Structure 1
Amino acid sequence: MSDHAGGALAVAAPRRAGVLRGGAALVAGGIGALGLAPFDLWPLTLAALVALGALWLAAPTPRAAGLAAFLFATGHFGVALHWIVEPFFVEPELYGWMAPFALFFLATGLALFWALAGWAAARFRLGLAGLAAALALMELARAHLFTGFPWAMPAHVWIGTPAMQWAAWVGPHGLSLATFALTLLPVALWASGRRITAGVVLVAAVAALLAGGALRLAQPLPEPRAEIVRLIQPNAPQRDKWDPEHIPVFYARQVGFTMASPRPDLILWPETALPGLLERAEEPLAHIAEAAGGAPVVLGIQRSDAAGRYYNSAVLIGEDGAALDVYDKHHLVPFGEYMPFPAFWQGLGITGLAARAEVGYSPGPGPRTLDLGPLGRALPLICYEAVFPQDAAGAPERPRMLLHLTNDAWFGTFSGPYQHFAQARLRAVEQGLPVLRAANTGVSAVIDARGGVTEEIPLGRAGFVDAPIPAALSPTIYARTGGWPAGLAMLALLAAAAAGRRRPVS
């Protein structure tokens, strides 16, 4: 064999290895996403993160390590968030062409956070402990930067298992850190030759996580309150929701559910359940109040102010249909409810889905509670706000319950609505508060203060459900401290990894 041929083979071998490593990372990330709802196959997420640790260790350079993390995260977010294309097909003739670009740029954009963690941990020789800390810090960052998008977090794979209860102590980001640590640190033991020890540590860590949560679940919950809530689910498909021919059908359906006997103590309609604007809704609000028979009703509606601004709001109406209190959604969906840098997009002729709100929504002043009289104070969360732990904890005073009004018809009929519902359950655990959830197409549910579902209306079904309002627990550790302890734990692990590092490489 000539020297030239030998040199070509020497170059081709690392390239082939790099392609195989990248492909394996992409596939592993996609498999790892199956730990999220509606699949809930959390062992696959753990196995995928173990694979990520092995692929990261095998990377010959920091750049290759960052690329492995990037491709893993791209596969993960691409599979987990594929529902993001659904809103663009409500009106496919206008927005359908945007769908593949939205999924591609969302998945790769979020993956950049993981790429930075993978590169930095390799560049500064922080090992797998440093990688676990860096990934957790990047997850914390993506939950807050650029308005935040804390969807498809590693912590979410534990929702519905006893391990979810750890969120009451360490919050979702502490649970993500634990997930990274329990999967990546055993890989380091395996790589050092202690393979049996690695397996024992992994199994023991998972068992401890589940057992700790089970101990909390074993403690009795307070008896439910005597008051009854009624959740209304009209099941209005998004393409029909604003159709003039269908609006009366959905309105009559909700009013019929509202007036059913026996009368409850609180009635909850979903997000934008009433078409039109609040300031023009005097007649339908009076009609709804009459149907409610004196019970307070909280429903979603749009409103505008004298300055021409529009809001996505929740209104509390009393016996005569008068608006007793109004909450304006403050954490808006970029490109869905408003367009960031609107002049730039208008120059390209792109209005986005925010065009459905005429000029887009304006944000409200922030979290605040509604006074429900004898039922106590309740914190409303409209749609997307329920994915943010800080929004569920943001009110000036502690509420007795969380009210989640949402229109998950935007998220399709497969994974999106179930992932959103799962995150509402996690908010209940974090705060030790019940969540009353009314969703346009589902899942509407009564969630107790430990995230258990006491009553629900399945996805894609019209109906209503009456249930006792679960009692609140005392404020959890996480409700008292917020995310600071988890953030400090990430920094401490990073510092420990840095203390044992070797000299950085180029």
Structure 2
Amino acid sequence: MERLGGRIILLWGWRRALVAFLAGALAVLGQAPYDFFAACFVSFPVLVLLIDGAAGDPGAGALRRLRPAFAVGWWFGFGYFLAGLWWIGTALLVEADSFAWALPFAVIGIPLVLAIFYGFAVVVARAMWSGGIGRIAALAFGFALAEWLRGFLFTGFPWNAIGYAAMPVPLMMQGVSVVGMNGMNALAVFVFAMPALLVSRRHLRLGAVLAVLIVAADLGFGYLRLAAPEPAGAKQLDVRIVQPSVDLAEKWDATVRDRIFATMLALSSQPPQKDRAKPQLIIWPETAVPFLFTERPDALTALGDILADGQMLLAGAIREEGAASGGGEERYYNSVVAINDRGEIADAVDKVHLVPFGEYMPLEGLFHRLGIDQFVAGPMSLSAGTQRHPLVLPGGIRGVPFICYEAIFSGQVGVDVASGDIILNVTNDAWFGNTPGPYQHFRQAQVRAAENGMPLLRAANNGISAVVDSRGRVIDALAIDARGVIDAHVPISRQATISPGQRGINGYAVMMVFAVLAFATTVRRRLRAN
């Protein structure tokens, strides 16, 4: 082990970059759909050893001394994001004639940029680097800080945060309800990197004890939380989730819209599945309605005809405001609309966090002059909603809707669901086909349920649609590309361990514990050297 570790430490030039790249790519195996988290026990120790050898010229300035560390982190991040996000490019192939030219920018350009965060993580760690367990703590703090920044800088994209690799099953998800994603990211890196101590054996016993205690506490808490019974008097909701598996090549084709809508009506109105009650709530995926209601008022009449007394439909739809109703400039919103049993739109919630380049164009004027209006096929450019609010469902239950990737923003979900009873997630992952993308998206939504102690109802055009309980356990689901419905009886009881605010404080506290440990070890080492 010492000989292998020494060889990794002494790597230089392109060999060091290649090993860092491969270590990052290997770490992706810890994410869905692979869930092979053991790979991270190789990737992160290799990263630690590469950082050991990334010492800059002692006579250079501070920034130049940290440049080799940034390079190691950047190559690790580039491998991680390239191997983990290559599937984004499949969205550009839906209308390949128009968008295939942008494939390199999506597949390579996005990982190139995101890798900067991991380069920053390693720079932060290297600035507090020392021997033994101190450098493991420094790396945990650096990555947790980088993942926190990745959640909001440049509109935010916290996809595949390292902490998810430590939560492949509900038993291992429960800790996130106490320390949030910030805490889980820090703890995951700390435990994953611990085998690096096998090389020098300094602090090995201490590191092994701490790693075992962290894992045991996580599993023990998970067991106790999963074993806790549902509280008496919980509200109940009978739901139907519709997964139509509509071909995106036809989605906005005017000649087939009526057929698509008829399919949605047929799936929604079929008899309940065996041993299931008639649904009180029916949920359609993101943009499931293939036209504007302002252009097709007869569609609302048709919906009123299939909805029984007391039933409600939540449908993903493009909502229009402005010129068509005499209100000035046209604006379009990606929305969830609530339709009552009279075929009336009773409420609507617009998507607040839009996808850059997919739903709107940053620097729109500049790109328009270049002849670029949108990178992903769609009917129009969208405007962002201003505020999310709960929708009142049958029985007075309050459902908080999140459209597409809004569900991956841990902190924002925690704030927005504070006034709700259930998490609603509608999405259209058909853009990405049967790739790792939909599985990764579902896992992150599933963790939101465990994190907030609230059930999750998820409707996806081609999967993965699911009903998830308040502990992150999947009650029922539909596979990728399946067409059908889920009928489920869902207990509605909020079982959050602590408040979102306290969870955030706990996560920051975990990060600071590692920062203090790293800093104290560094200071002690320097004092000894003097």
> Match of 1:261?
271
Distance 2:417 2:212 in 1: 42
Conserved? CA contact 1:259–1:293, under 8 Å: no
Distance 2:431 2:417 in 1: 31
> Match of 1:418?
439
> Pick from 250, 253, 256: which aligns with 1:246?
256
Distance 1:175 1:14 in 2: 28
> Match of 2:426?
405
| Residue 321 (structure 1) shift | 0.6
Matched to 2:173, the amino acid is M
Q: Deviations over 1:264-291 (max 9, x none)?
A: 1110011111112232332112212211
Distance 2:230 2:18 in 1: 47
Conserved? CA contact 1:187–1:198, under 8 Å: no
> Match of 2:312?
296
Matched to 1:321, the amino acid is G
> Match of 1:215?
224
> Match of 2:85?
81
Seq. identity, %: 35
> Match of 1:323?
345
Distance 2:521 2:206 in 1: 21
Matched to 1:239, the amino acid is A
Tell me: CA distance 1:415–1:350, structure 2 relative to 1, closer, same or farther (3 Å): same
2:54 matched to 1:59? yes
| Residue 198 (structure 1) shift | 4.8
Moved more, 298-307 or 465-474: 465-474
Conserved? CA contact 2:454–2:469, under 8 Å: yes
Distance 1:219 1:480 in 2: 23
2:37 matched to 1:37? no
| Residue 209 (structure 1) shift | 2.7
> Pick from 300, 308, 320: which aligns with 1:285?
300
Paired residue total: 491
Matched to 1:129, the amino acid is A
Alignment of 1:452-463 (within 5 A): 452-463=473-484
Distance 1:230 1:281 in 2: 24
Conserved? CA contact 2:197–2:204, under 8 Å: no
Distance 1:110 1:221 in 2: 41
2:389 matched to 1:368? yes
2:181 matched to 1:172? yes
Conserved? CA contact 1:300–1:314, under 8 Å: yes
Moved more, 249-258 or 198-207: 198-207
Matched to 2:16, the amino acid is R
Distance 2:176 2:208 in 1: 25
Q: Deviations over 1:103-137 (max 9, x none)?
A: 21211211101101212322454633222101110
| Residue 349 (structure 1) shift | 2.1
> Match of 2:404?
383
Tell me: CA distance 1:129–1:198, structure 2 relative to 1, closer, same or farther (3 Å): closer
The CA RMSD measured in Å over matched residues stands at 2.4
> Pick from 95, 111, 114: which aligns with 2:115?
111
Conserved? CA contact 2:177–2:503, under 8 Å: no
Matched to 1:250, the amino acid is I
> Match of 1:393?
414
Moved more, 27-36 or 272-281: 272-281
Moved more, 388-397 or 126-135: 388-397
Distance 1:396 1:76 in 2: 31
Matched to 2:29, the amino acid is L
Conserved? CA contact 1:129–1:184, under 8 Å: no
Conserved? CA contact 1:21–1:68, under 8 Å: yes
2:337 matched to 1:337? no
Matched to 1:136, the amino acid is A
Distance 2:199 2:153 in 1: 35
Moved more, 96-105 or 321-330: 96-105
Conserved? CA contact 1:312–1:361, under 8 Å: yes
Q: Deviations over 1:426-447 (max 9, x none)?
A: 1101111101111110111111
Tell me: CA distance 1:194–1:403, structure 2 relative to 1, closer, same or farther (3 Å): closer
Q: Deviations over 1:290-347 (max 9, x none)?
A: 1122311010111121231110011101111110001111111011111111122123
Tell me: CA distance 1:491–1:195, structure 2 relative to 1, closer, same or farther (3 Å): closer
Distance 1:397 1:55 in 2: 43
| Residue 192 (structure 1) shift | 4.5
Tell me: CA distance 1:296–1:110, structure 2 relative to 1, closer, same or farther (3 Å): same
| Residue 233 (structure 1) shift | 0.6
| Residue 489 (structure 1) shift | 2.8
Distance 1:376 1:16 in 2: 59
Matched to 1:369, the amino acid is P
Conserved? CA contact 1:189–1:197, under 8 Å: no
> Match of 1:137?
145
Conserved? CA contact 1:159–1:426, under 8 Å: no
| Residue 481 (structure 1) shift | 2.3
For residue 115 of structure 2, give the secondary structure of its aligned residue in structure 1.
Answer: helix
Matched to 1:468, the amino acid is H
Conserved? CA contact 1:85–1:102, under 8 Å: yes
> Pick from 310, 335, 350: which aligns with 1:313?
335
Distance 2:180 2:214 in 1: 18
Matched to 1:216, the amino acid is R
Q: Given the two structures, how large is their TM-score scaled by the length of structure 2?
A: 0.87
Distance 2:224 2:10 in 1: 50
| Residue 236 (structure 1) shift | 0.7
Distance 1:226 1:495 in 2: 47
Alignment of 1:431-446 (within 5 A): 431-446=452-467
For residue 111 of structure 1, give the secondary structure of its aligned residue in structure 2.
Answer: helix
Tell me: CA distance 1:198–1:475, structure 2 relative to 1, closer, same or farther (3 Å): closer
| Residue 14 (structure 1) shift | 11
| Residue 388 (structure 1) shift | 1.0
Distance 1:297 1:334 in 2: 29
> Which stretches in structure 1 are left out of the alignment for 5+ residues?
1-12
> Match of 1:148?
156
Tell me: CA distance 1:221–1:210, structure 2 relative to 1, closer, same or farther (3 Å): same
Distance 1:239 1:477 in 2: 45
Alignment of 1:223-242 (within 5 A): 225-242=235-252
Matched to 1:248, the amino acid is D
